Structure 1
Amino acid sequence: MAHTQTTDALDEAKLPFWKRSHYLDRMTFRDLVGAYFQHYTIVAYLGLAALCVVAFVIWPTTPLRAAIAFLAALVVYPLVWHLLHQYVLHGQWMYKIKPLAGTWKRIHYDHHQDPNHLEVLFGALHTTLPPIAIATMPVGYAIGGVGGMAAAFAGGLLTTCYYEFMHCIQHLAFKPKWKWVQTMKQRHVEHHYFDEDGNFGITNYVWDRILGTYYEKKDRPRRSPTVFNLGYDEDVAAKWPWVKDLSGGIASGHPRRRAMGKEGFDPKVNAGPVENTNAA
């Protein structure tokens, strides 16, 4: 068995970087930085942001209008992300529609099944670019025409890059030095390992506070039994089986316990501490 595992590891090491499996709880900060700038979505966001600069040069607006459009995108983006996270990614409706079941599985169910799996942490471009454009371009155009639209879209793209990097940090086996990053990480770890119904903001919890979804672990003494499956269990799969079919079954419990072949947590005994919350 050990020989087989060693052989499999060597075979995987020969694959191109993003054909291998990567887990943030096994990576260093340097590993993460290298992986981050190699991921096709980050390359695409930065490339599109550069094209926005070109568009701004061709169809300019005043510096003041451009700055306002860029800042407007930074204000709008956290609210749009919060609403999408709460009502789309955590909504109990996408898996009930067969054409959307695979998308929901890829963009969020898989991430909650194993929060440290790097490949499914980054959003796919066909699911991220339309919301970024819809959230930022109309506002930018209203402020400064095509030049303002380019500035606002660039703001959304760069904010997405920031979100993606900080999201990686929140799942990396790494304790940030800055207190505000530690707090941000702890809130997100609680979302993944204690109660998924709250702390939707990833890096900005202002809207969680305004909309009443902000919490700290001490505020919710019992762990959610659906924190890893988002409510998609065997009973649900019996009626809407498409995610189960795509996943090869239904997994439950802590992802590391599953990887070790142990049973997941018992939802009837769920008041204990969150495992490895600073290193998840």
Structure 2
Amino acid sequence: MSQSSSDQPEGFWRAFWAARSNQGSLRTGRSFDLGKMSLPHLWMAYLTYPTILLYFALILVSSAIAIACGPRFGTTLIAVLLVIGIYPFAWYAIHRFILHGRWLYRNPVTASLWKRVHFDHHQDPHLLDVLFGSPLNTIPTIAIIVMPIGWAIDGVSTAFAALATGLVMTCIYEFFHCIQHLAYKPRWKWVARIKQLHVLHHFHDEDGNYGITNYAADRLFGSFYREARARPRSAHVFDLGYDLEEARRYPWVMNRTGAPPKQRPDGARRNG
């Protein structure tokens, strides 16, 4: 792929600041359309997005509390490293067994939660607003997973150090998740590879490649696949099993959507 001017440092920053003037043309309704965005546009959207700004603020607050509580370098480092190591496995478990589970949409109380946190994303993977989870869901989940780890190591200070680390990991995951749905061919081989694997999850077979930046859990638990020819294409890659038959039996998601589940996202139709 030839190197465009936006890949050069000066061209990138010109495009970055120019993105401020035409953000409206990148929107579909209220959502940014990653299928139309360049990398500078993504940086502008990401660094100004309210959810990401909230994460940044909470990282600073958590770090300040950790420091105020008198951290010890050794125990803090252990907590940080443990969170970094555990995070991809926690994400895998949530993604595979909760977000791709069918029990949430079969309950009228949790159907709207499932629609918001994952169904909408698979229905149209290009929309930035539904790619980011709601902070009301993500922040308590992060805290529940990582703070007990930090607390068990050295109390309050390492608990908040663990929370700050979990939030940093979330920001990193969210950015690379955006890259994986962006109309952009990464020049870094590792990023290109994880993007290819995630695209397979969204457009070939959803029952695999649950990781974002790290596929160790997929390899360990047998859900990893390298290429499309490794397995047949899933009939539920866009609807996650919530097809017309399921929608008739459990109508709560369809009622909130206002339409039957789509078998192909709008972005895929538009981009052929």
Q: What is the TM-score with the length of structure 2 in the denominator?
A: 0.87
How much has 1:150 moved relative to structure 2?
1.1
Distance in 2 (CA, whole Å) between partners of 1:114 and 1:21 is: 11
Q: Tell me whether 1:129 sits opposite 2:139 in the alignment.
A: yes
How much has 1:130 moved relative to structure 2?
1.4
Q: Tell me whether 1:33 sits opposite 2:43 in the alignment.
A: yes
Question: How many percent identity over aligned positions?
Answer: 43
How much has 1:120 moved relative to structure 2?
0.4
Q: Which residue, 234, 253, 257 being the options, matches 1:224?
A: 234
Pairs within 5 Å for 1:34-49: 34-49=44-59
1:180 maps to 190
AA aligned opposite 2:113 = T
How much has 1:20 moved relative to structure 2?
3.1
Distance in 2 (CA, whole Å) between partners of 1:80 and 1:21 is: 28
Q: Determine if contact 1:69/1:140 at 8 Å carries over to the other structure.
A: yes
2:74 maps to 64
Distance in 1 (CA, whole Å) between partners of 2:268 and 2:60 is: 43
Pairs within 5 Å for 1:129-278: 129-256=139-266
Q: Determine if contact 1:139/1:149 at 8 Å carries over to the other structure.
A: yes
AA aligned opposite 1:160 = T
Distance in 1 (CA, whole Å) between partners of 2:105 and 2:91 is: 20
Return closer, same or farther for 1:49/1:258 CA change in 2, 3 Å cut-off: closer
Distance in 1 (CA, whole Å) between partners of 2:263 and 2:248 is: 19
- The alignment covers a number of residue pairs equal to 249
Q: Determine if contact 2:208/2:225 at 8 Å carries over to the other structure.
A: yes
Superposed CA deviations along residues 24-60 of structure 1, whole A, max 9, x for unmatched, are 0100111111111111111111111101121122212
How much has 1:148 moved relative to structure 2?
0.7
How much has 1:255 moved relative to structure 2?
1.5
Distance in 2 (CA, whole Å) between partners of 1:257 and 1:112 is: 11
Superposed CA deviations along residues 112-153 of structure 1, whole A, max 9, x for unmatched, are 000011110001011111121111101101112111111111
Q: Determine if contact 1:71/1:152 at 8 Å carries over to the other structure.
A: no
Distance in 2 (CA, whole Å) between partners of 1:36 and 1:18 is: 16
1:51 maps to 61
Distance in 2 (CA, whole Å) between partners of 1:258 and 1:31 is: 20
How much has 1:218 moved relative to structure 2?
4.2
Q: Tell me whether 1:104 sits opposite 2:114 in the alignment.
A: yes
Distance in 1 (CA, whole Å) between partners of 2:94 and 2:105 is: 15
Distance in 1 (CA, whole Å) between partners of 2:208 and 2:153 is: 33
Return closer, same or farther for 1:258/1:178 CA change in 2, 3 Å cut-off: closer
Q: What is the TM-score with the length of structure 1 in the denominator?
A: 0.84
Range with bigger deviation, 52-61 or 73-82: 52-61
Ranges in structure 2 where 5+ consecutive residues have no aligned partner: 1-22
Return closer, same or farther for 1:52/1:179 CA change in 2, 3 Å cut-off: same
How much has 1:249 moved relative to structure 2?
1.6
How much has 1:18 moved relative to structure 2?
10
SS in 2 for 1:207: helix
Distance in 1 (CA, whole Å) between partners of 2:136 and 2:267 is: 33
Q: Tell me whether 1:83 sits opposite 2:88 in the alignment.
A: no
- Runs of 4+ residues over 4 Å off in structure 1: 257-260
SS in 2 for 1:182: helix
Question: Aligned-pair RMSD on alpha carbons?
Answer: 2.0
